[in-house]
Amino acid sequence: MTDKQHITIKGVKDGLVFILDDRCEFSALLDELHYKLEKTHQQLLTGPLMHVNVKLGSRETTDDEKEQIKSVLRQQGNLLVQSIQSDSELQSLMGSNQQELKVMSGIIRSGQVVTHEGSLLLLGDLHPGGSIVCTGDIYVMGTLAGMAHAGSEGRMDVIIAASLLKPTQLRIADVISRPPEEWLTGDAAMEYAFLQEGVMQVDKTTQLFRMRREPLVYKGV
């Protein structure tokens, strides 16, 4: 093998994971798969029954191409293909979750906890002792005085924004922070909290576009 390898095989607890490169030709991938199964890894890959998960990275594949990969693996006899997954599929699965914005109005009082998968927009106040836990962003149109935990399942790119940000504690992913004196600007401006290199920062919401860089399409005369 003189070329750069396109296939990585990893052993995990419940079988093998084949990680296929997503930048090369599909045919090159198939050739290498044949080569690995029959030549280089022959001793390793024969033996007892093995579950196999195939990861395609960000490659877009047709059902036909997936079937080709499956048939190559099946030739080996002891490899049982469990799944063939590409990131784009995973992302679209997660994406539907991320997009889900729940709007709720009311006061979250001390002792009350609101949890939500996705982002949450609260029209009202979050009182001290109350908490919001979300997998996505948290927006509060009102005073955020309690505890807010955004990205509770690990997302680091989420934000916590409020009309009046004076929290007892803020959490983004695994980073926990309490407001030091310099956070409390006392300005009437809306603020948001975000992570920068793993450290919680607070800035005016008017600066948010610098972080998000979402394409804006201005329509006008």
Partner 1 sequence: MGDAIVVTSGKGGVGKTTTSANVGTALALLGKKVCMVDTDIGLRNLDVVMGLENRIVYDLVDVAEGRCRLQQALVKDKRFEELYMLPAAQTKDKHDVSPEQVRDIVLELKKEFDFVIIDCPAGIEQGFRNAVAGADRAIVVTTPENAAVRDADRVIGLLEQSQITAKLVINRIRPAMLKTGDMLEIDEVCQVLAIDLLGIVPDDEKVIKSANAGEPTVMDPSSRAAIAYRNIARRILGDMVPLMPLDEKSAGMFKRFRKFLGIG
Interface residues toward partner 1, by CB under 8 A = 107, 109-112, 125, 127-130
Q: Which is nearer to partner 1, 118 or 129 (CB)?
A: 129
Q: How far apart are CA 171 and CA 155, in angstroms?
A: 11
Least Å distance between CB 106 and partner 1? Answer: 9
Q: Which is nearer to partner 1, 125 or 191 (CB)?
A: 125
The answer to whether the beta carbons of residues 192 and 202 sit under 8 Å apart is yes
Q: How far apart are CA 144 and CA 139, in angstroms?
A: 9
SS3 42: helix
Least Å distance between CB 131 and partner 1? Answer: 12
Q: How far apart are CA 85 and CA 75, in angstroms?
A: 20
Least Å distance between CB 124 and partner 1? Answer: 9
The answer to whether the beta carbons of residues 204 and 189 sit under 8 Å apart is yes
Q: How far is CA 77 from the centre of its chain?
A: 36
The answer to whether the beta carbons of residues 111 and 93 sit under 8 Å apart is no
Least Å distance between CB 189 and partner 1? Answer: 20
Q: Which is nearer to partner 1, 32 or 125 (CB)?
A: 125
Q: Which is nearer to partner 1, 15 or 128 (CB)?
A: 128
Q: Which is nearer to partner 1, 146 or 151 (CB)?
A: 146
Query: Between the CA of residue 106 and those of 116, 117, 148, what are the distances in Å?
Result: 15, 19, 16
Q: Which is nearer to partner 1, 130 or 136 (CB)?
A: 130
Least Å distance between CB 110 and partner 1? Answer: 4
Q: How far apart are CA 59 and CA 10, in angstroms?
A: 19
Least Å distance between CB 85 and partner 1? Answer: 43
Q: At what angle do helices 63-75 and 26-35 cross, to 10 degrees?
A: 10
Nearest to 6 by CA among 158, 22, 17: 22
